[in-house]
Chain A
Amino acid sequence: MHGLINRAIQCFVRDSYGQRRWVDVTRLAGLEIIDFEAMLQYEDSTTKALVAAIAKTLRVPEETVLEDLGTYLVSHPNVEALRRLLRFGGVNFVEFLHSLDDLPERARLAVDDLIIPGLELEELSPDRFSLRCSYDYVGFGHVIIGVLRTMADDYGALVFLEHNGVKDGVEVIDITLIETAFASGREFDLGARAE
């Protein structure tokens, strides 16, 4: 697994629950390191062990951990760069949804050995979509749900999201658009740079 993903998990736990908790998590996961490097590769099993350890420490299901991670990724000021990069996908939430198909390609443009979930959007009707999410790590669809929920807020859209289970190793997320301009959303200034 790419270090960026493990590093994201580390920042999520550290920024949400403190460094002390993060150290506990790494011990519980049986890891010998505390800090992940964003630009190195790690064993896939490490990521799974981390998520399991966080769930155990926080006494919540793994799905909750993953969804909270997704929320963190696009809302915490420490990772503002990612939210900005996603906002380049479109000027409104529907355009953003359609840009998800390109997301793995976009990620590879930035960091060429970064593999993120393959995403395929199907438009069932103008306000109903189905997103198919395929990844080595089954369960990562919950991260995508956290990201989508927060990005909808970011665009000021009101949506209903539901994880519809795993079919042939592919996770399916149902998206219902209730209101595209529900709230004013957050500013997105093209010229601003994330810190």
Chain B
Amino acid sequence: MTDTQDMLRMLDVLCPMHVQLDANGLISHAGPTLQKLYPDLALPGQGFLDVFELSRPKRITNMEGLLATAGQKLHLRKRLKPLTGLKGVLVPMPMTGGAMVNLGFGISILDAVSDYDLNAADFAATDLTIEMLYLVEAKSAAMEASRKLNLRLQGAMIAAEEQAFTDTLTGLKNRRALEHILPRLVKDCTPFGLMQVDLDFFKQVNDALGHAAGDAVLQHVARVLVESSRDEDCVARVGGDEFVLVFRGATDLEIMGRIADRIISEVENPVPFRDTICKVSASVGIAMYSGCGETDMDQLLSDADTALYASKHAGRSTYRVFEPQMRDSGPLAG
């Protein structure tokens, strides 16, 4: 009897989560850590399968079935909440007809340490659980630091991209942004209206009143263009006094014409500069993309440009919509 007691004391140190079963499958002894899983129930005297549900192998209901699993990996679950999952292995004790089952937490360890308030002394000295918990915590902390760095880098990247796509004088998009947006719309078969706006007499303002006056005019025009478009449209300054507007989803020529008229009349409003005023006007060329057909960004921009020349030809301060015959009667043909 004392031999058995000594043996159990040794096992409690080596395997603090083991149980001893008698020939009827009743628990005769439970290791100290395993007992912590049932703070309100003394395990000795309980039927092993009454407190632990065997989820794999399945359909084992008695001691005979349990003994047949000897040496196999067992998947178990506590029958009382919290329903902690456990792993185990059974070894028969031929002398008594009973068995010993050693249990462990497996991956449920993270929840188990807080559910049962476990500490280092609850694990065998050779058990790697504490090292694993350390590693989980250290890696989470390192991962969190990396995640924050990634967020900051992403923020910096977005800011840099935005800067790269922005015309700094007017705050409008630039040519690079346009070259990013247009091919996507063509590829997605999204219809849009393309408007090329060119200022008339801008060079005269620049020459007569200086670049600061020219800048004031450009900022005035930028304001007009932004106010004439919606948030989802794109307004870009693509050259000194050249602008391109992309009206996403626009298919109605009449509406495009009204917008062009409004832009032309607003651009003509005099711009005060120091003690004088600047006056420019605008010519507009329009090309439409219906959402289908063989074309590309360069072709569409060239069409809008052709229409723009047609309106310059027609005496400026007006707009023209691209038509294929314009190519033959354009300035180059003229």
Contact = CB atoms under 8 A, between A and B. Distances in A.
Interface string B117-156: 1111100000000110111011111100110110010000
Interface string A42-82: 00000000000000000000000000000000000000010
Contacts of B142: 39, 110-111
A192 B117 CA distance: 9
A37 interface: yes
Nearest to B139: A110
A106 B149 CA distance: 23
Contacts of B157: none
A193 interface: yes
B115 to A, nearest CB: 8
A192 to B, nearest CB: 7
A109 B149 contact: no
- Scoring A88, A111, A190 by chain B CB atoms within 10 A of each residue's CB, the highest score goes to A190
Contact of B133 (A4, A37, A88, A110): A88
B138 A85 contact: yes
A38 interface: yes
Contact of B134 (A4, A37, A106, A193): A106
B229 to A, nearest CB: 39
A99 B115 CA distance: 27
B137 A85 contact: yes
B114 A189 contact: yes
Contacts of A40: 149
A188 B114 CA distance: 12
B113 A85 contact: no
A85 B114 CA distance: 16
A40 B130 CA distance: 29
Given A91-B119, A110-B138, A190-B120, A39 B145 contact: yes
A194 interface: yes
A126 interface: no
B139 A39 contact: no
Contacts of B141: 81, 85, 110, 194
Contact of A190 (B118, B131, B135, B149): B118
B145 A38 contact: yes
Interface in A149-195: 188-194
Given A38-B145, A38-B149, A88-B133, A191 B138 contact: no
A181 to B, nearest CB: 15
A98 interface: no
A84 interface: yes
Nearest to A35: B152
Nearest to B134: A88
Interface in A99-157: 106, 109-111
Contact of A193 (B121, B135, B137): B137
A189 B117 contact: yes
A37 B118 contact: no
Contacts of A188: 119
Contacts of A192: 114
Contacts of A4: 145
B120 A91 contact: yes
Contact of B121 (A38, A81, A91, A191): A91
Contacts of B148: 38
A188 B115 CA distance: 15
A84 B149 CA distance: 23
Nearest to A88: B134
A85 B133 CA distance: 9
Contacts of B140: 193
A85 B145 contact: no
A110 B135 contact: yes
Contacts of B131: 88
Contacts of A189: 114, 117
- Scoring B115, B120, B140, B149 by chain A CB atoms within 10 A of each residue's CB, the highest score goes to B120
Contacts of A106: 134, 138
B117 A39 contact: no
Nearest to A81: B141
A188 B121 CA distance: 13
Nearest 4 A/B pairs, CB to CB: A191-B114, A110-B138, A191-B113, A88-B134
Interface of B: 110, 113-115, 117-121, 130-131, 133-135, 137-142, 145-146, 148-149, 152
Given A88-B137, A190-B114, 17 more contacts: A4-B145, A39-B145, A40-B149, A85-B138, A88-B134, A90-B120, A91-B121, A106-B138, A110-B135, A110-B139, A111-B142, A188-B119, A190-B113, A190-B118, A190-B120, A193-B137, A193-B140
11 contacts: A37-B152, A85-B138, A88-B133, A88-B134, A109-B135, A190-B113, A190-B118, A190-B120, A191-B113, A191-B114, A192-B114
